[in-house]
Structure 1
Amino acid sequence: MFTEKDHADIEKRGSNTLTVKQQIENFISGFPFLQVIKPATVGDGIIQLSDAETVENVKHFEDSTAAGASILKFVPASGAASRMFKSLYSAKDDLEAGVPESEVKSKKDIQYFFDNLTKFAFYEDLKKIAGKAPEELPAVEVLTLVLTETGLNYGNLPKGLLKFHNYTDGNRTSFEEHCVEGALYAKKNDGNIAIHFTVSPEHQPKFEEHLAEIQAKYEKEFDASYSISFSQQKPSTDTIAVSPDNSPFRNDDGTLLFRPGGHGALLANLGELDADIVFIKNIDNVVPDYMKPETVKYKKALGGLLLNLQKKIFSYQEIFDTHHYYALDSIFFSEAASFLENVLNVQPPSPQYYTEKEELYYYLKNKFNRPIRICGMVRNEGEPGGGPFWAKNSDDSVSLQVVESSQIDFDNPEQKQLVDSATHFNPVDLVCAFKNYKGEKFDLSEFVDPATGFISKKSQNGKELKAQELPGLWNGAMADWNTLFVEVSIQTFNPVKTVNDLLRKEHQPEG
């Protein structure tokens, strides 16, 4: 199947032939659908904090960070923002093909873009490049200046470097908004704010340049110091592509084609970081300053809840680590099993785990010795993407999982009905901890469910191929973590998927 040159290329990428062969086997056999048991709902898998509980958890978080708990904010920021501008690219192509401007603008989203051009945070930059008011230019020239390197080049830049919000003292990119947001809940007692961005290799120099431009301003504003770091998706996490017949896809020069393994590949980057608490949030989910208090409140509340949970889990970890099963009495086992099932939401594979003492000991020990994540969940208002469910795991236990639509067998009427009845949506709002009671980091690769990847159809140079994505970062990559779901305000979820989303009131100045 592979030549000597192939083996050398695979090794150079930091992978190995066995891994690549397993990926090809995955194409042949496919990935099994996840068995959803029921949606997680408020009171049945989703915690709804009262006002008093929210205040209590916020205080606990603030007290803990004041006592020296280290915090880090992790932001996946890779890739170009080209999908944001899909409709603009289409309009540009039509105009360049001779379609009348009036006809192109008859499309609702295109007309809306041009009608509200002055409201975009990048308007002044566009005006400066154009040398005049952009609305005075033909539409094709405006689109060319927005999208291509002759102007702002927004079609080729990552979302983190696009200007999102208007301010009187200078408009901000989403990268800047994450820096500001980090100062409001991730500032340590020594004044340091640690934020890690995963970026594409071709974009990292531009991120570093942007950081150099804005760092001093925000350090002065927040009386803080920023520790901003960057990493790139590792080549070893790329997955091989195959032809429709499942044979390795080869480029025109005969070399194997590897493709990025999706956001699940960032688990390796996450695992290299060192902090007591790690917040994870997507690059495009930021809001102007007047809306940040709600986000900050819930971030701190989730952080406080995690620290309280972790304290109890640590106590169990230490007991299991320092005692043999025959030295522990039935009362302890009963309490530990109840905590696992009723607090950590892990239901055992069968009742035998409650009757066989030795098996129960090792089952509980393994379940408590895992990373922890608390996931904010918002009410489902029709956004596409994953959601919170109770699902069966590979060891036949049942636990809370963030499930993507690609993991669901929609041809199964019962599974489809369960998914359609879901009440909440995953906004990618996570607080994580992956150290044990001794302060040692877990190896995150040990807690991945490898059966939760998925396959998609793509093309390369006009040839069809199949691509494979690794288990998603907050899906299968964290499938074997201890997990809690908490309802958070819908105001904390304001993603930017298209350029016109920046015109929503949540991304415009107050009032």
Structure 2
Amino acid sequence: MTVVELTKEDVEQIKNHGLNKETVIHQLETFKEGIPKVELVSAANVGDGIQAFSKEEVQLFSNKYDDSKLERIKFIPASGAASRMFKALHQFLTDYRPENTSLEKFLAEQDSDLLKKFFDGINNFAFYKEVLGEVKNGNANDHELTEDEQKYTFVKTLLQEDGLNFSNLPKGLVPFHGYENYSATAFEEHLVEASKYAAKDGKAKLHFTVTEDHLEKFKSTFQAIKDRVEKQTETEFEIEYSFQKKSTDTIAVDFDNRPFRDDEGKILFRPGGHGALIENLNDLDTDLIFIKNIDNVIKQENLETIVSYKKVLAGELINVQEKIFEVLNRIDQDGFNKHILAAANDLLEEKLSVKTRLETEEDVRNFLDRPIRICGMVENQGAPGGGPFWVKDGEGNISLQIIEGAQMDTDDPAQNEIAQNATHFNPVDLVCSVRNYKGEKFDLTKYVNPKKGFITQKSKFGRNLKALELPGLWNGGMAYWNTMFVEVPIITFNPVKNVVDLLNENHQV
């Protein structure tokens, strides 16, 4: 792939987009060369890459975090729209007409468990009364509608622009949980949760990554609930927002790996996926960062275990960080010696699951002086997504990584067997330390493995294209961090991928 393929107009467009020509050329070369699959060595499990804590350790690490004075913030990727949650309901509006057939017959013909669950549990959704009220306001003859017509109108009012337009809301602002006098969005539940483990001196800081289109919705929602939630939690909230930077967008190509262009001949750039958020994470200047997805919340009465394990993860992180800092400070103060080398090797083997034996001061500094992440892992429940594995890189180094299915060569029987034998799953439950032993902030962009992105197939303007996603935030985006995996209870994982997930026990108040 040569520079010649980019015209002067292309280069100007690239510059105006906040990118540089060399980055785009590298992306074009990546499409041409492809991205190699990872080499799995084995699945991590308890005792081999995943720690499991005793009751005594849970209490010890929880107390250690409670005693900490470190600054902390909760980081929540929240740019996702709710449209995917309601995909089946959109199809329902397209396919069903109450005047043509009964809902019962339609559901039987469709054989859709999801739609059946939705209508069987319709009055248990937190948004049920709000939608019902909108239906009555918008239809004076509501009482004359048949039961099937009422349900069709309910879905229409829930989703469409002339109704409540939930499909175009950010997922974080959809009502998830219905309490006695109010309903709570995922956004609000993150505030409540943060008040219980991410607050310091009565203040909790949260950072949400959102789209520019959704920013004002988040701000107005916070203003509407601020007094109630701050009184309820006895916590003052400081909320920051950021957008995925345009400079992290990637070029799209056609199936011949040539730049994909719109009808005016302009290059199409697409968001680089959640891996682009390493830039947003890198902008945070604090000691500890809790990371959790926007849709992974739980009803407030069940928060105790989640709060406990968040503190446990943070406490163990602080524990290991102190040991790392002690080794590095001793080198600065006393010089390098065999006792420090032994301590460093013990630490890497016992806590960081690094199988490389260090031999020099340079080795010790290189392996220990890095950002640290501790990741909760839950037992496999058959959910799609990434998991913890031992992985070998191109230089023969073996390390713990979170690997997505798209990165695995499941056509290889041996690799597929390793993948199938995975015992644990990544729920995106991280605590991160991003300052070094001198108190200086790491440049997180230096710890990304740029070769661990994804190439996917999409479409635009009715034409197929190939898109490049940057290394995932907790995958290749943190490939060279010091990593710990810890088993956490399954109750800490309550994602809402489609609307009927809100009928699960942990979302029903």
Q: Indicate the TM-score class for this superposition, using the shorter chain for normalisation.
A: over 0.9
Q: 1:44 aligns with which of 45, 48, 52?
A: 48
Structure 1 position 198, deviation (Å): 0.4
**2:5 pairs with 1:4:** no
User: How far, CA to CA, are the matches of 1:179 and 1:371 in structure 2?
Assistant: 26
What is the root-mean-square deviation in Å for CA atoms of aligned residues? 1.7
Equivalent position to 2:279, from 268, 290, 294 = 268
Q: Secondary structure of the residue that 1:90 maps to in structure 2?
A: helix
Separation of aligned partners in 1, 2:315 and 2:184: 29
- Counterparts of 1:50-69 in structure 2, within 5 Å, are 50-64=54-68, 68-69=69-70
1:98 CA drift (Å): 7.7
Offset, 1:111: 2.3
Amino acid at match of 2:54: S
Match of 1:364 in 2: 364
Which string of whole-angstrom CA distances, capped at 9 and with x for unpartnered residues, describes residues 183-227 of structure 1? 1111102x1110000001111110111011011211122222110
1:120 counterpart residue number: 125
Please point out which of 333, 347, 351 is paired with 1:343. 351
CA distance in 1 between partners of 2:282 and 2:73 (Å):
12
CA displacement at 1:158 relative to structure 2: 1.2
Q: Give the drift of 1:316.
A: 2.3
Contact preservation (8 Å) 1:385, 1:425: yes
Matched, 1:23 2:31: no
Aligned length: 494
Q: Out of 263, 278, 288, which is 2:289 matched to?
A: 278
Correspondence list, 1:101-500, <5 A: 101-102=102-103, 103-106=105-108, 107-131=112-136, 137-189=149-201, 191-321=202-332, 327-348=335-356, 354=359, 360-500=360-500
Look up the SS of the partner of 2:291 in the other structure.
Answer: strand
2:336–2:361: 8 Å Cα contact kept in structure 1? Answer: no
The C-alpha deviation readout for 1:440-499, integer Å capped at 9, x for no partner, is 110000000111001011111111100010000010000100000000000110100110
Deviations 1:83-141 (A, max 9, x none): 11111111111025986343433233212211211100001110111116896744332
Residues of 1 paired with 2:229 and 2:183: CA distance?
Answer: 13
CA distance in 2, matches of 1:30, 1:97: 49
Corresponding residue SS for 2:131? helix
Q: Measure the CA separation in 2 of the matches of 1:207 and 1:394.
A: 44
Tell me the secondary structure at the aligned position of residue 450 of structure 1.
Answer: coil
Q: Could you say which residue in structure 2 is the equivalent of 1:78?
A: 79
Residues 216 and 136 of structure 1, relative CA distance in 2, 3 Å threshold: farther
- Give the corresponding residue for 1:357: none
SS at match of 1:265: helix
Change (3 A) 1:36 1:97: farther
Give me the whole-angstrom Cα distance separating, in 2, the residues matched to 1:74 and 1:368. 24
**Contact 2:376–2:487 at 8 Å: present in 1 too?**
yes
2: CA distance, partners of 1:22 / 1:101: 56
**Percent same amino acid at aligned positions?**
46
Report Cα offsets for 1:10-58 as digits up to 9, x if no partner.
1122211111111111101111111111111111111000011001111
Report how far residue 404 of structure 1 moved: 0.6
* Alpha carbons 2:43, 2:419 under 8 Å: kept: yes
Whichever residue aligns with residue 204 of structure 1, its letter is L
Shift of 1:369: 1.1
Secondary structure of 2:385's match? coil
* Offset, 1:399: 1.4
Is the 8 Å Cα contact of residues 320 and 365 (structure 1) preserved in structure 2? Answer: no
Return the TM-score normalized by structure 1: 0.94
Q: Confirm or deny: 8 A CA contact 1:94 1:104 kept in the other structure.
A: no
- SS of alignment partner, residue 431 of structure 2: strand
Deviations 1:348-372 (A, max 9, x none): 2xx6x54xxxxx3222211111100
Return the alpha-carbon distance in structure 2 between the equivalents of residues 442 and 99 of structure 1.
63
Query: How big is each residue's C-alpha offset from its partner over 1:329-366, in whole Å with a ceiling of 9 and x where there is no partner?
Result: 22322221232233211122xx6x54xxxxx3222211
Q: TM-score of the superposition, structure 2-length normalised?
A: 0.94
- Which residue identity lines up with residue 92 of structure 2 in the other structure? A
**Is the partner of 2:25 in helix, strand or coil?**
helix
In 2, the alpha carbon distance for the partners of 1:321 and 1:25 equals 43
In 1, distance between residues paired with 2:303 and 2:416?
A: 36
Q: Which runs of 5+ in 1 are unaligned?
A: 355-359
Q: Which amino acid aligns with 1:73?
A: K
Cα separation, partners in 2 of 1:394 and 1:370, compared to 1, 3 Å? farther
Distance across 2 between alignment mates of 1:212 and 1:338: 50
For the pair 1:100 / 2:101, whether they are aligned, the reply is yes
